[in-house]
């Protein structure tokens, strides 16, 4: 045992913020030991200097960062992403593929496979698996996904790769009889999410009964909520088993809706970045899923003006929701840690500062600027 104590912090737990105690973790086992009232003389300490001591963030929808994109299929590139987002407080993530050619998706899956084990101990965020966003989507809601690569939902493709695919986004209305959804739900624990979908409300509600339990970037690229046609948005908000993603960059959806989603979904609200390779880069032209995209400020668009992913950092998503709601700070941190960990069935090990879980810990100031990122008890980033 090599215990380290984080002192002088506002410790962010799932249901409260605790002051006046220290958080102990074992840097040998990489596990959290819990809260203590006093620190033994001579012990290793980290002084949090009044900052938040929060769980490492978990991003389950991120395509790229620092010029790299998971769909490129480059192991070097994905590793660079993992190290880059550790500076934003992310300790675990799902590199996310786009609707690109199937061969290209397979190359990306192989690249992630080759890194998964190494990522547990490297100095970047850990790779939990892949989020396959498409190619099983509706052309009419393709957003920035390339139409020529869209395929009919195919459960076997996902099942054959279920060692690495942890999450798939599909359009339920493209899946006749919801055969793919039902097969995946009965034969795997892959998170099935409705996204890039034009389904009617009734169909989306049925999909949620058939195995869908998540909604990909709620409001964006899905049938909208209207009073006579509540759409996928209405189905996602009213189906209790469905968790929902929000891109809280203040641009993808009006920030006035953050509190509404939180009220309706509670612990099933998940913050994601949907970040592209333009993340962490200067304004200019980049590429997403084979199409040119143009970054200006916080906005990423195709040439025709279609919104094309984001350049959001997950710690800034937490800050934006804190700033635009009256929610307790611990609830907002949870949206980027425990809630996504729950969605991908990893919350037994990560997602909160609870005894026995991985010592994935971040220290941030009140504006959620990351001062230090600790993964499995090792500091992997210090500002
Ligand atoms: Zn995306």
DSSP string computed for 284-329:
EEEEETTEEEEEETTEEEETTS-B--B---HHHHHHHHHHHS---H
Q: Residue 104 falls within a domain, yes or no?
A: yes
Which residue from 320, 324, 299 is spatially nearest to 311, judged by alpha carbons?
299
For residue 181, what pLDDT is reported? 98
Co-location of 23 and 61 in the same domain: no
- 110, with CB counted inside 10 A (0-12, 13-18, 19+), is middle
Co-location of 63 and 48 in the same domain: no
The CA 61 to ligand 1 mean position distance, Å, reads 6
Co-location of 12 and 145 in the same domain: no
pLDDT band at 243 (very low <50, low <70, confident <90, very high): very high
Q: How many domains does the chain have?
A: 2
For residue 379, what pLDDT is reported? 98
Co-location of 34 and 62 in the same domain: no
Co-location of 61 and 48 in the same domain: no
C-alpha–C-alpha distance, residues 327 and 369, integer Å? 19
Co-location of 228 and 369 in the same domain: no
Average pLDDT over residues 250-261: 97
Q: Is the dihedral of CA 214, 217, 221, 225 positive or negative?
A: positive
Co-location of 24 and 48 in the same domain: yes
Q: Residue 360 falls within a domain, yes or no?
A: yes
Co-location of 216 and 126 in the same domain: yes
* CATH code, domain with 215: 3.20.20.140
The CA 134 to ligand 1 mean position distance, Å, reads 9
- Residue written as token pair 């759409």: 231
The CA 274 to ligand 1 mean position distance, Å, reads 5
8 pLDDT more than 90: yes
**Angle in degrees, CA 253, 307, 164, rounded to 5:** 90
Co-location of 270 and 192 in the same domain: yes
13 pLDDT more than 90: yes
Q: Which domain holds residue 283?
A: 56-343
For residue 213, what pLDDT is reported? 98
For residue 162, what pLDDT is reported? 97
pLDDT band at 107 (very low <50, low <70, confident <90, very high): very high
Q: What is the chain's mean pLDDT, rounded?
A: 97
Distance of CA 62 to the CA centre of its chain: 7
For residue 146, what pLDDT is reported? 83
Is position 47 annotated as part of the catalytic site? no
Co-location of 290 and 332 in the same domain: yes
pLDDT band at 25 (very low <50, low <70, confident <90, very high): very high
For residue 145, what pLDDT is reported? 82
Q: Residue 374 falls within a domain, yes or no?
A: yes
The CA 238 to ligand 1 mean position distance, Å, reads 23
The CA 96 to ligand 1 mean position distance, Å, reads 7
Q: Residue 351 falls within a domain, yes or no?
A: no
What share of the chain in percent tops pLDDT 90?
Answer: 96
Name the strand (E) or helix (H) holding 232.
Answer: helix 231-238
pLDDT per position as a tens digit, 38-82:
999 999 999 999 999 999 999 999 999 999 999 999 999 999 999
The CA 226 to ligand 1 mean position distance, Å, reads 24
Q: Residue 350 falls within a domain, yes or no?
A: no
Average pLDDT over residues 257-281: 97
The 3-state DSSP class for residue 336 equals coil
331 pLDDT more than 90: yes
pLDDT band at 118 (very low <50, low <70, confident <90, very high): very high
The one catalytic residue among 249, 274, 316, 360: 274
Co-location of 177 and 188 in the same domain: yes
Name the strand (E) or helix (H) holding 4.
Answer: strand 3-7
Q: Residue 40 falls within a domain, yes or no?
A: yes
The CA 223 to ligand 1 mean position distance, Å, reads 17
For residue 1, what pLDDT is reported? 81
Co-location of 134 and 210 in the same domain: yes
* CATH code, domain with 376: 2.30.40.10
129 pLDDT more than 90: yes
Q: Residue 375 falls within a domain, yes or no?
A: yes
What is this structure's pTM? 0.97
pLDDT per position as a tens digit, 137-153:
999 998 888 899 999 99
pLDDT per position as a tens digit, 283-293:
999 988 888 99
C-alpha–C-alpha distance, residues 258 and 308, integer Å? 21
The CA 25 to ligand 1 mean position distance, Å, reads 35
């Amino acid at each position: 045992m090599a215990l380290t104590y984080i002192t002088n912090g506002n410790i962010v737990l799932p249901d409260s913020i605790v002051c006046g105690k220290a958080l102990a973790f074992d840097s040998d086992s990489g596990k959290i030991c819990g809260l203590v009232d006093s620190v033994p003389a001579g012990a290793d300490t980290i002084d949090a200097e009044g900052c938040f001591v929060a769980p490492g963030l978990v991003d389950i929808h991120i395509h790229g960062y620092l010029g790299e994109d998971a769909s490129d299929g480059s192991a070097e590139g994905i590793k660079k992403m993992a190290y880059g987002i550790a500076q934003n407080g992310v300790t675990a993530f799902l590199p996310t593929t786009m609707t690109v050619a199937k061969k290209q998706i397979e190359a990306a899956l192989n690249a992630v496979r080759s890194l998964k084990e190494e990522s547990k101990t490297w100095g970047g965020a850990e790779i939990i698996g892949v989020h396959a966003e498409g190619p099983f989507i509706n052309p009419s809601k393709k957003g920035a996904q390339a139409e020529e690569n869209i395929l009919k939902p195919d459960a076997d493709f996902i099942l054959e790769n279920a060692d690495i695919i942890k999450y798939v986004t599909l359009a339920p209305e493209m899946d006749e009889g919801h055969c793919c959804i039902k097969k995946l739900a009965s034969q795997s624990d892959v998170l099935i999410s409705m996204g890039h979908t034009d389904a009617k409300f009734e169909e989306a509600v049925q999909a949620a009964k058939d195995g869908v339990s998540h909604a990909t970037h709620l409001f964006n690229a899905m049938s909208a909520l209207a009073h006579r046609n509540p759409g996928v948005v209405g189905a996602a908000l009213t189906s209790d088993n469905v968790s929902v993603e929000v891109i809280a960059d203040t641009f993808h959806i009006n920030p006035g809706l953050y509190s509404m989603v939180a009220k309706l979904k509670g612990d099933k609200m998940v913050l994601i970045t949907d970040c592209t390779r333009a993340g962490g880069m200067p304004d200019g032209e980049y590429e997403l899923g084979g199409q040119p995209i143009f970054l200006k400020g916080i906005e990423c668009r195709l040439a025709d003006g279609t919104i094309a992913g984001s350049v959001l950092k997950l710690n800034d998503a937490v800050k934006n929701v804190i700033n635009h709601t009256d929610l307790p700070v611990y609830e907002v941190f949870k949206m980027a840690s425990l809630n996504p960990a729950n969605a991908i069935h990893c919350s037994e090990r990560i997602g909160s500062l609870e005894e026995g879980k991985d010592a994935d810990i971040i220290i941030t100031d009140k504006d959620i600027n990351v001062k230090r990122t600790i993964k499995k008890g090792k500091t992997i980033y210090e500002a």
